[in-house]
Amino acid sequence: MRAPRTRSIRVRSIRGAALACTVLSAAGLLSACGLGGADKPTIAHKHSLTIGVKADQPSLGVKTKNGTYEGFDVDVATYIAARLGVPKDRITWRTTNSSVREKALADGTVDMIVATYSITAKRKRTVTFAGPYYVAHQDTLVAPGDAAVRDVRDLKGRKICAVTGSNSWRRVIEERKTAAVPVQAPTYGACMDDLAAGRLDAVSTDDLILAGFAAGHPGKIINAPFTDEKYGVGLKKGDLEGCEQVNRAITAMYQDGTAARLLRKWFGESGLKLTTSVPQFEGCS
Q: CA 267 to CA 285: how far, in whole Å?
A: 31
Q: Do 226 and 176 contact (CB within 8 A), yes or no? A: yes
Q: What is the span of the domain harbouring residue 58?
A: 49-135+230-267
Q: Could you give phi then psi for residue 263, rounded to 5 degrees?
A: -65, -40
Query: Comparing 32-41, 46-55, 163-172, 229-238, which segment has the lowest mean pLDDT?
Result: 32-41
Query: Does 4 fall in a domain?
Result: no
Query: Does 13 fall in a domain?
Result: no
Whole-angstrom CA distances from 38 to 11, 42, 153, 212 are 20, 12, 52, 44
pLDDT band at 218 (very low <50, low <70, confident <90, very high): confident
Which residues lie across from 141 on neighbouring strands? 203, 221
What is the side-by-side order of every strand in the sheet holding 69-70? 56-57, 61-63, 69-70
3-class secondary-structure state, position 235:
strand
Q: Are residues 126 and 262 in the same domain?
A: yes
Please report the pLDDT score of residue 110 as a whole number: 98
Asked if the model's pLDDT at residue 21 lies above 50, the reply is no
Q: CA 246 to CA 235: how far, in whole Å?
A: 10
Q: Are residues 127 and 258 in the same domain?
A: yes
Query: Does 283 fall in a domain?
Result: no
Query: Does 32 fall in a domain?
Result: no
Q: Are residues 106 and 148 in the same domain?
A: no
Q: Please write the tens of the pLDDT for every residue from 250-260.
A: 999 999 999 99
Please report the pLDDT score of residue 29 as a whole number: 43
The domain that contains 246 carries what CATH number? 3.40.190.10
Q: Are residues 241 and 101 in the same domain?
A: yes
Q: Are residues 181 and 62 in the same domain?
A: no
Q: Are residues 119 and 155 in the same domain?
A: no
Q: How many CB atoms lie within 10 A of CB 251?
A: 16
Q: CA 37 to CA 53: how far, in whole Å?
A: 33
DSSP secondary structure of 91-148 = EEEEE--GGGHHHHHHTTS-SEE-SS-B--TTGGGTEEEEEEEEEE-EEEEE-TT--S
pLDDT band at 40 (very low <50, low <70, confident <90, very high): low
Query: Does 30 fall in a domain?
Result: no
> In the chain, how many domains are there?
2
pLDDT band at 41 (very low <50, low <70, confident <90, very high): confident
Query: Does 168 fall in a domain?
Result: yes
Query: Does 17 fall in a domain?
Result: no
Question: Percent of the chain at pLDDT above 70?
Answer: 86
Question: Which whole number is the average pLDDT over 220-238?
Answer: 94
Q: Please write the tens of the pLDDT for every residue from 82-127.
A: 999 999 999 999 999 999 999 999 999 999 999 999 999 999 999 9
Is the CA virtual torsion 73, 93, 27, 89 positive or negative?
A: negative
Q: Are residues 131 and 234 in the same domain?
A: yes
Helix (H) or strand (E) holding 204: strand 202-206
Please report the pLDDT score of residue 39 as a whole number: 52
Q: How many CB atoms lie within 10 A of CB 122?
A: 9
Please report the pLDDT score of residue 26 as a whole number: 43
Is the CA virtual torsion 161, 162, 164, 169 positive or negative?
A: positive
CA end-to-end span of the chain: 52
Residue-averaged pLDDT of the chain? 88
Asked if the model's pLDDT at residue 200 lies above 80, the reply is yes
Q: Are residues 204 and 80 in the same domain?
A: no
Q: Do 157 and 212 contact (CB within 8 A), yes or no? A: no
Q: Are residues 53 and 131 in the same domain?
A: yes
pLDDT band at 134 (very low <50, low <70, confident <90, very high): very high
Please report the pLDDT score of residue 230 as a whole number: 96
Question: How far, in whole angstroms, is CA 264 from its chain's centroid?
Answer: 20
Please report the pLDDT score of residue 8 as a whole number: 43
Which residues lie across from 94 on neighbouring strands? 52
Q: Are residues 126 and 57 in the same domain?
A: yes
Question: Percent of the chain at pLDDT above 90?
Answer: 77
Q: Are residues 181 and 240 in the same domain?
A: no
Query: Does 176 fall in a domain?
Result: yes
Q: Are residues 150 and 131 in the same domain?
A: no
Q: Do 270 and 215 contact (CB within 8 A), yes or no? A: yes
pTM: 0.81
